[in-house]
Chain A
Amino acid sequence: MSLHTDIRRVRAEFDDRLKAVQARLAAGLDGSEHAEQLRIDFLGRKGAVAGLFAGLGALSPKERPAAGQQLNALKEAIAGAVSDLQPGPSQEDRPSAPQLDLTLPGDPIPLGSTHPVTQIESKIKNIFARIGFSIYYGPEVETEFYNFEALNFQADHPARDMQDTFYLSKDLLLRTHTSNNQIHAMEAMKPPLRIIMPGRVFRNEAINARSHCQFHQIEGLVVDRQVSMAELKGTMTHFARELYGPDTRTRFRPSYFPFTEPSAEMDIYWGLETDRDHRITKGTGWLEILGCGMVHPNVFKAVDLDPLKWTGYAFGMGLERMAMLKWGIGDIRLFFEGDLRFLRQF
């Protein structure tokens, strides 16, 4: 309908603004910015002329060619007038390279990274999510009850030495493991439960290349009526194969955690090809990956679940340790320094 009117309106607007710029130039003022703005407003990707071109679509196919010609004429006229104002591209826009050189590097596209511990964590979360685990979280500041007592750590028992603890008061501490979440989960929800629980944990240990006062764990808990050690073994083996490849060999051996009985540790066969392999596997070729076991009846009792009715298994693993193994990182402090030379590699 009124494309014609639009063209005339745009032309009039342009002439107005052109005159203003010409006046500036005539008065000896710097008009380069104004000229540039003029170009952007009318010839830019979202300029007035482009707007008119966009309107072509609304026309019938019959009207389109003629209208297109008119628009092209307008565009050329405006382009000519603008380029008369500016002898060349503005200083800022002009590439300093004198001519097209496609061997110049591409634009520096920014790309950050997620933390290696986050990467391992989400990998593990995904593996367990695929076999029906949900995710649950618990607090970092914890009471004696949730961190120790309910987990069958008795007072004055050497098991407490397994975890050096930061205390905030007589009864309050920083959790030493994510196992506190087991208790919270069983208090908050009725079984059946099938959850993993990631989080940051703390140990009162000197900071050096091999130990740190904080690290991250993922805990797992399954409670149901017929959960067996055979299910624990099958599930953990599946997990190891998902994470380390389908040919991964696993080994289970007895261990001790106050909150599981029987308790086990799962090793994977890492190999003995390099000096590093020998060192990290203490010459055995086997590498400890996670601790696990059947939920101790005392733990069920602490959350008022009948240990004759319910059975369950739990497992836990350290994420920094897994990241160090995966990427061959030798110093745990690197995870918490924020060194970009480190972070940029992930």
Chain B
Amino acid sequence: MKISIDWLKDFVDFDLPADQLAAVLTNLGLESTVETATYDFTGVVVGRIDAVEPLAGSDHLSICQVNLGDTVVPVVCGAPNVTQGIKVPVAKVGAILPYGVKIKKTKIRGQTSQGMICAENELQLSDEQSGIMILDEQATMGQDLQEYLKSRRATTLDLDLTPNRGDCFGHLGVARDLAAKWNTSLRVPASAITEGPIPIDDLATVTITAPEGCHRYVARVITGVTVGPSPEWLVKRLESVGLRAINNVVDASNYVLLELGHPLHIFDYDRLAGHHIDVHFAREGQSFTTLDGVERELGGHHLLIADDHGPVALAGIMGGVQSEVTDQTVNLFIESAYFAPSVIRRGAKSLDLSTDASKRFERDTDIEGLVLALERVTSLVAELAGGSVAQGMIDVYPQVHEPKEIDLSVPFTNRLLGTDLSAGQLVGDLGRLGIAATLIVEETLRCVVPLSRPELTQPVDLIEEIARLEGYDSLPAVEGVEVRLGAFIPDTQAHFSQVRDTLVPWGFHEHLANTLTHRKYTGLFTDVPAIELQNPLSQELAYLRTALLPGLLQAVVFNERRRQKNIQLFEIGAVHHRNDRAYNQTRETFKLGLVVSAGKGTGDVHWKRPVEKDVYYLKGVVARLLQSLALPASTFVPAEAEHLTSVLRVSSNGVMLGFLGEVDETVRQIFGLGNRVVVVELDLDQLGQLSRKGDDHYRDVIPYPVVERDIALEVPLTTSAGDLLDTCWQKGGKYLRDVRIFDLYSGKGIDQDKKSLAFRLYFQSADRTLKDGEVDQQVQRIIDALHLKHQAHWRRS
């Protein structure tokens, strides 16, 4: 909300620069910034139109002689309101207007034009484009327009109000907080009404059929007004906070809204059928055309102001077309009411219609202050538009609101704030805020909260008020805190950072993809039931992701298109699917996804042998990763999985962790991948559990030598290395420490349907040096078993 500093001074005295005032308000909880005007033009000055003549050959253009103080230049202008003697903004030759428009000397129908007379929209000062902007008569010719505008502009603050401060939705409320802070007096605006002879009851009646929606309705009638333009002081005030003047009646109502924060509604009295107002809820499906000309379908929760023929306003939100005040209006019916905040909010929300009025009503309003608002607007209208105020006021107030009483404990206040304030200090602070506090028993204050602060309902609300007034910055801050050892709990995601620390040195970059995704991605790598959003931003972001791989693959494509090489990404994040047994009907699992753009490490130096990035590379990465997490007995078993080729199922201790493989052609097409990509997605929750149970014991370093034996085997092409390794282990005896495959060869020298695999076997005993003979015997047993089981032929060379 915009606040004018001049306007504030109507109610409270102060002498502070704008930025310091903004700081005071911010420290009171009314976050404020000084509005600084910025103009997007240069070279525009004040000029006076000394002469206007129609331009020959045109039906709407004129040629003006414009006095710029030191020179008079000819300017062609097409505006309807161009008149001799007025002062206007003139963009001189060389001026630059918004959007970079540069003003040049031109010829129009043979007439030289040296500049341009501007409308407000051409200078981006407003949307006004019906004619050129007319400046003040006192403006100095030749003065730079920016200087002129700045000198006329009242300094305003922009207030970012929190939802609990409905009381500061007008200048008076802000001034009330300032007066309390500074402990100075507040000038509440006065109203002087001279009533005419006709009693209001003879002119109008009000009934409330829905007292749960409308708690109070007060009204006055003014007859014989003259609707016309508002005086300049009023126009300027409204403009200073960004409102455009309309006519004296509407302007008065807006003025009081901005002054007191209470919304008012003024009806054309003669258009109220039966001169009777009733407040009731709409019928389901009833329609009503609001002031903005939109016909709206209502629900049973919409509160209506109706005359004897039907609705005339959507209560607390917007008026209707047919009872609107127009230039012809002579008699007025002025409404000031209290509507239940939740009713207005629900109504405005369901119509997606938020107005100045609804915003205030839904933050709760002052049920007593609404009388002052009515008196203020009545006296203002009478002053500006004349007429006779009917005698008396209608006041329908079925259930009178009583000010709330809250008992506040002094020790509790000090305990919560960490302060040592006395009861007297608290009474003083609260008193300045208009909250009457008295000591009822020792150390307990009974506090009477004025109806202007309806959001204060509990002791803690009052404690915040006290803290606010004392100043948060002046409250104490402790130097030390107590750590309770019993309150420690283990970090269930501690292994996440271990995973990151392992992957980063291998060149993987961490990505965070969007949890929200397109439906087409949710079924790619899993068939779990995906969860759909009811109100998505777009179809692209309408589902919760069921896997991390789609997001990672999107990132791969993103990078491929930007010619990035060596794409290796990982993500740690949650995926979701429906699970009706959970309280939130969701199963949320943390996963680890890895993607590697396959091929030789492009961009590497060529005289070094680059590592081929393929499924073996990723298998190596995952194997090492699982090892670093001390996972027991990890296995990689060839398997099948949707949309993957060269697939391995990764498990540990019999628990499935995920699939590893290369994405298939379908996926490559869906994502538009250029390169081949190898991927893996692992269940991090399972991984964490296994890791905690994992094998991380130290084994003594053995002082006896390791005996190595190499064997080369020729086996059928289809024999899997994994099976051969298994046999080695089965027949390796108790001294076999490790088996590694160090060569794989097929081609020249080997039968076409065969391949050669070379194994290195490592033997070691924990308590002695092994004899060659026993190792050789063991190797022979392994070779025999390999031959028997896998038709492996030992290549003695």
List 4 tightest A-B contacts by C-beta distance, closest first: A230-B418, A338-B555, A254-B29, A110-B507
In this assembly, does B505 line the interface, its C-beta being within 8 Å of a C-beta of chain A? Answer: yes
**Contact of A135 with B483 in the complex, beta carbons under 8 Å:** no
Given A112-B510, A141-B584, A338-B511, the answer on whether A193 and B461 have CB atoms closer than 8 Å is: no
A141 surroundings in chain B (CB, below 8 A): 531, 544, 576, 584-586, 588
Instruction: For the complex, give the distance between the alpha carbons of A159 and B706 in Å.
Output: 71
A193 surroundings in chain B (CB, below 8 A): 487
B359 surroundings in chain A (CB, below 8 A): 158
**Contact of A194 with B536 in the complex, beta carbons under 8 Å:** no
Instruction: For the complex, give the distance between the alpha carbons of A169 and B564 in Å.
Output: 41
Beyond A17-B797, A252-B475: 20 further Cβ-contacts under 8 Å? A112-B568, A118-B500, A139-B588, A140-B576, A141-B585, A166-B533, A174-B544, A191-B487, A192-B486, A207-B537, A234-B477, A251-B27, A255-B29, A262-B463, A263-B464, A284-B22, A284-B23, A297-B458, A308-B412, A338-B555
**Contact of A294 with B416 in the complex, beta carbons under 8 Å:** yes
In this assembly, does A336 line the interface, its C-beta being within 8 Å of a C-beta of chain B? Answer: yes
In this assembly, does A89 line the interface, its C-beta being within 8 Å of a C-beta of chain B? Answer: no
A30 surroundings in chain B (CB, below 8 A): 748
In this assembly, does A273 line the interface, its C-beta being within 8 Å of a C-beta of chain B? Answer: no
Given A338-B552, A340-B567, the answer on whether A166 and B464 have CB atoms closer than 8 Å is: no
B566 surroundings in chain A (CB, below 8 A): 110
In this assembly, does B164 line the interface, its C-beta being within 8 Å of a C-beta of chain A? Answer: yes
In this assembly, does A16 line the interface, its C-beta being within 8 Å of a C-beta of chain B? Answer: yes
In this assembly, does B509 line the interface, its C-beta being within 8 Å of a C-beta of chain A? Answer: yes
**Contact of B415 with A252 in the complex, beta carbons under 8 Å:** no
The number of A-B residue pairs with CB atoms under 8 Å apart is 306
Instruction: For the complex, give the distance between the alpha carbons of A168 and B534 in Å.
Output: 5
Looking at A155, A204, A261, A263, the one whose CB has the most chain B CB atoms below 10 A away is: A261
Bitwise, A325-344 to B at CB < 8 A (1) or not (0) is: 00000000001111111011
In this assembly, does B99 line the interface, its C-beta being within 8 Å of a C-beta of chain A? Answer: no
Q: B90-98, B100-108, B252-260, B488-496: which one contacts chain A?
A: B488-496
In this assembly, does A114 line the interface, its C-beta being within 8 Å of a C-beta of chain B? Answer: yes
Instruction: For the complex, give the distance between the alpha carbons of A46 and B164 in Å.
Output: 75
**Contact of A229 with B537 in the complex, beta carbons under 8 Å:** no
In this assembly, does A103 line the interface, its C-beta being within 8 Å of a C-beta of chain B? Answer: no
In this assembly, does B294 line the interface, its C-beta being within 8 Å of a C-beta of chain A? Answer: no
In this assembly, does B541 line the interface, its C-beta being within 8 Å of a C-beta of chain A? Answer: yes
A162 surroundings in chain B (CB, below 8 A): 163
**Contact of A229 with B460 in the complex, beta carbons under 8 Å:** no
Instruction: For the complex, give the distance between the alpha carbons of A46 and B740 in Å.
Output: 12
Given A234-B477, A235-B481, the answer on whether A254 and B467 have CB atoms closer than 8 Å is: yes
**Contact of B532 with A294 in the complex, beta carbons under 8 Å:** no
A204 surroundings in chain B (CB, below 8 A): 535, 537
Tell me which of B419, B541, B586, B603 contacts A230 (CB under 8 A): B419
**Contact of A139 with B586 in the complex, beta carbons under 8 Å:** yes
Residues from 134 to 151 in A contacting B, C-beta threshold 8 Å: 134-137, 139-143
Distance between B473 CB and nearest chain A CB, rounded to angstroms: 6
**Contact of B607 with A157 in the complex, beta carbons under 8 Å:** no
Tell me the nearest residue of chain A to B412, going by C-beta: A308
Tell me the nearest residue of chain B to A38, going by C-beta: B797
In this assembly, does B14 line the interface, its C-beta being within 8 Å of a C-beta of chain A? Answer: no
**Contact of A341 with B163 in the complex, beta carbons under 8 Å:** no
A167 surroundings in chain B (CB, below 8 A): 533-535
In this assembly, does A156 line the interface, its C-beta being within 8 Å of a C-beta of chain B? Answer: yes
Q: B31-39, B48-56, B69-77, B724-732: which one contacts chain A?
A: B31-39
Tell me the nearest residue of chain B to A110, going by C-beta: B507
**Contact of B473 with A143 in the complex, beta carbons under 8 Å:** no
In this assembly, does A172 line the interface, its C-beta being within 8 Å of a C-beta of chain B? Answer: yes
Please list the residues of chain B having a beta carbon within 8 angstroms of any beta carbon in chain A: 19, 22-23, 26-29, 31, 33-34, 36, 162-165, 341-342, 345-346, 349, 359, 362-363, 412, 415-419, 458, 460-461, 463-464, 467-468, 472-473, 475-484, 486-493, 497, 500, 503-516, 531-537, 541, 544, 551-552, 554-556, 558-559, 562, 564, 566-570, 573-574, 576, 583-586, 588, 601, 603-609, 704-708, 710, 743, 745, 748-749, 758, 760, 769, 772, 796-797
Distance between B762 CB and nearest chain A CB, rounded to angstroms: 10
| 10 cross-chain CB contacts under 8 A | A46-B708, A161-B163, A207-B537, A213-B516, A230-B418, A230-B478, A233-B476, A254-B27, A254-B472, A284-B23
B583 surroundings in chain A (CB, below 8 A): 143
B342 surroundings in chain A (CB, below 8 A): 155-157
Instruction: For the complex, give the distance between the alpha carbons of A212 and B537 in Å.
Output: 11
Tell me the nearest residue of chain A to B534, going by C-beta: A167
A230 surroundings in chain B (CB, below 8 A): 417-419, 475-478
**Contact of B163 with A194 in the complex, beta carbons under 8 Å:** no
**Contact of B511 with A51 in the complex, beta carbons under 8 Å:** no
Instruction: For the complex, give the distance between the alpha carbons of A108 and B482 in Å.
Output: 49
Instruction: For the complex, give the distance between the alpha carbons of A156 and B464 in Å.
Output: 23
Given A172-B585, A256-B29, A340-B509, the answer on whether A264 and B472 have CB atoms closer than 8 Å is: yes
Residues from 262 to 302 in A contacting B, C-beta threshold 8 Å: 262-264, 282-284, 294, 296-297
Given A229-B417, A343-B511, the answer on whether A96 and B606 have CB atoms closer than 8 Å is: yes
Distance between A194 CB and nearest chain B CB, rounded to angstroms: 5
Given A111-B507, A134-B488, the answer on whether A256 and B164 have CB atoms closer than 8 Å is: yes
**Contact of A234 with B584 in the complex, beta carbons under 8 Å:** no
Instruction: For the complex, give the distance between the alpha carbons of A161 and B346 in Å.
Output: 12
**Contact of B497 with A122 in the complex, beta carbons under 8 Å:** yes
Tell me the nearest residue of chain A to B712, going by C-beta: A37
Instruction: For the complex, give the distance between the alpha carbons of A206 and B535 in Å.
Output: 12
A113 surroundings in chain B (CB, below 8 A): 504, 509-510
Given A157-B345, A214-B514, the answer on whether A228 and B569 have CB atoms closer than 8 Å is: no
Tell me the nearest residue of chain A to B26, going by C-beta: A253
